[in-house]
Amino acid sequence: KRKIQIAIDGPASAGKSTVAKLVAKKLGYIYCDTGAMYRAVTYAAMKKDIRLDNDKDLNQLLQKLSIEFVPANPEQKVYVDNVDVTKEIRLPGITNNVSIVAAQSSVRTDLTKRQQQIAQAGGIVMDGRDIGTTVLPNAQVKIFLVASAKKRALRRYKENILKEINTPLDVLEQEIIERDYKDSHRKISPLVQASDAIEIDTTELTIDEVVREIMKIIENRL
Ligand code: C5P
């Protein structure tokens, strides 16, 4: 069987990473969380007191910044310049600022190149906002996951409780809507469904059901 590229895009908290990980596991493919890379840059910039909309300084930061995914159980870890930042990059302070960094052109150019390198050999499931449109326009399978903002906020709320993050549900919903707005309205590779992507609305579906639906689509293209 050939080793293909699978792109999974969609708005915040639509369940992309959860299902992408499961699909990658089933296929024995690599999973790449591109959102974690934007979060990692945001984390590094905040640590170094770089203004998050300063394209030039961010560009300089990126020249020397290492971002690595390290396999671990049960979840792979994210390292920035050899420091484990897996937990830190999910904190609200990063989540609510990452869209500013992700709108800067030098950041997108740099991370897009890194992502294309990771995906080069195929056998990859990559999730994000612009994978099907910009990073891997020739991906053999493109999925666009959506769900109502209410349902997405509720899922994030439940995840947060396990991480001891206590943002109220209505605030979470507002934050998700705002982040989607920023991601959809930026100039460079905004969040938009690729014309050849298959949309799956997960509002009323379980994780298993979503994975099964995606696996059916993939098996037809292997
Ligand atoms: O997927 P996640 O919620 O971790 O992504 C965090 C942020 O990173 C998004 O809100 C978006 O601003 C940015 N992002 C992006 N392009 C991608 C992946 C993420 O702009 N391919």
User: What is the DSSP secondary-structure string of 145-179?
Assistant: EE--HHHHHHHHHHHHHHTT----HHHHHHHHHHH
Could you tell me which of 32, 15, 28 has the C-alpha nearest to residue 200?
Answer: 15
For ligand 1, is residue 34 a contact (CB within 6 Å)? yes
Correct CATH for 5-211 of 1.10.3720.10, 3.30.9.10, 3.10.300.10, 3.40.50.300: 3.40.50.300
Query: Which residue owns the Cα nearest ligand 1 atom 21?
Result: 128
For ligand 1, is residue 5 a contact (CB within 6 Å)? no
Give the residues across from 87 on adjacent strands.
Answer: none
User: What is the DSSP secondary-structure string of 35-47?
Assistant: HHHHHHHHHHHHH
Nearest ligand 1 atom to the CA of 36 is: 4
175 CA → ligand 1 middle, Å: 14
Write the CB contacts of 29 (distance below 8 Å, at least 6 apart in sequence).
3, 6, 23, 123, 124, 125
Write the CB contacts of 93 (distance below 8 Å, at least 6 apart in sequence).
46
End-to-end CA distance of the chain: 6
Residue 77 φ then ψ, to 5°: -105, 155
Which of 8, 37, 98 to mutate for ligand 1's pocket (most ligand atoms within 8 Å of CB)? 98
Query: Which residue owns the Cα nearest ligand 1 atom 11?
Result: 99
Rounded Cα distance between 95 and 88, Å, is 10
Residues in the chain: 222
Per residue of the chain (222 residues), give pLDDT as tens: 789 999 999 999 999 999 999 999 999 999 999 999 999 999 999 999 999 999 999 999 999 999 999 999 888 999 999 999 999 999 999 999 999 999 999 999 999 999 999 999 999 999 999 999 999 999 999 999 999 999 999 999 999 999 898 999 999 999 999 999 999 999 999 999 999 999 999 999 999 999 999 999 999 998
Sign, CA dihedral 87-7-215-28, equals negative
What pLDDT score does 221 carry? Answer: 92
